[in-house]
Amino acid sequence: MKIECEGLTKSYFAKRAVDQVNLELTGGHIYALLGPNGSGKSTLMKILSGLVKKSEGSISVDGKQLDWRAREDISYTPTEPFFYSYMKVSDVAAYYDDFFKDFDRARFYDLIKDMEISPDMKVRSLSSGMLAKVKIAAAMARRSKLILLDEPFNGIDLLSRDVLAKMIIGEMSEGSSLVISSHMVEELESIVDMAVFMKNGRIAEMCDVETLRINENKSIADKYREIYSEV
């Protein structure tokens, strides 16, 4: 899957949350979407998932304009709790199974079992960490061509984050792309192979993590400090 954004802009009255973004996401890569609060990461992800509508520019998915059909291949997991409050974990599986052809219910149950979460647990009674795990399991149990995870590690303890990071990489389908936004820059270092830095709604820089390491002898965290500490 190839996603191309050209001149992508999202305005909220006078404020531009995403400003003239040109971006190309290709299959087989894990992208880190980085930037401080308010830099436009979440808005960009929501535009790609179709939840937020662009004000200007274009987005194409394999050459076709983004519309509701693209949601069959795009899995988006927001940082906020979003499951219906009546749901048990098993209801989440049933819901995804009903709406997404690429959802593998057995895989979902395997993932939550590994996370020691029972299918009978009520979603509203889960801790923020457990809820984050269920959200990640639901996203990764889909064989989506593009997976968007917005701040997936929020509320998860350090040890669980390591386990989840390994699980995310292990569960990625061949040829699919993953975009992760997170404030925990260091922890993305070992997961991602591309880094996209956003600043004031624009793409400040996009680089290959390995090339950055070899050519400039810098980590993503170094690059992050370099970009965002600029006056």
Partner 1 sequence: MARIMKYEFIKNRFRYLVMIAIMIIVEIAFLISNAFSYRISTGMSVILILAGLGTLLIVIFEGIAMYNRDLREKSGYMLFMTPIPSWQILLGKITVILIVGSTLFIGYCFLGFADIHLIASAMKRDDPTSSLVPAIAKLLDSLYSGDTVITLIKLLICIICLVTYLVCLAYLASTISASVLRGKKGEKLISIVLFLALFILVVYISSKISNISDAVSLDMGTNGLELKLFENFNEAGASIIFELGCSAAAFAASAYLLEKKVDV
CA distances from 159 to 30, 57, 140, 187, 191 (A): 21, 41, 19, 11, 15
Residue from the set 60, 95, 160, 169 that interacts with partner 1 by CB under 8 A: 95
From 94-102, 104-112, 159-167, 185-193, give the range in contact with partner 1 by CB under 8 A.
Answer: 94-102
Among 63, 68, 120, 217, binds partner 1 (CB under 8 A): 68
Task: Tell me the window of 23-31, 75-83, 156-164, 222-230 that interacts with partner 1 (CB under 8 A).
Answer: 75-83
Q: Which of 27, 57, 81, 129 binds partner 1 (CB under 8 A)?
A: 81
Nearer to partner 1, 49 or 181 (CB): 49
What are the structure tokens assigned to 183, written together?
């404030």
Question: Which position among 7, 28, 82, 210 is part of the footprint of partner 1 (CB under 8 A)?
Answer: 82
Angle, helices 89-99 vs 105-114, to 10°: value is 150
Structure tokens at 180: 């992760």
Q: By three-state DSSP, how is residue 112 classified?
A: helix
Taking CB under 8 A as the criterion, the residue among 83, 108, 153, 224 binding partner 1 is 83
Degrees to nearest 5, angle at CA 119 with 102 and 99: 25
* Region at 39 (left for phi over 0; alpha for psi -120 to 50; beta for the rest): alpha
**Structural tokens at position 211:** 């090339």
Out of 24, 62, 67, 114, the residue judged to bind partner 1 by CB under 8 A:
67
Chain positions 28 to 57 lying near partner 1, rule: CB under 8 A, are 46, 49-53
Residues that bind partner 1 (CB under 8 A): 12, 46, 49-53, 67-72, 76, 78, 80-86, 95, 98-100
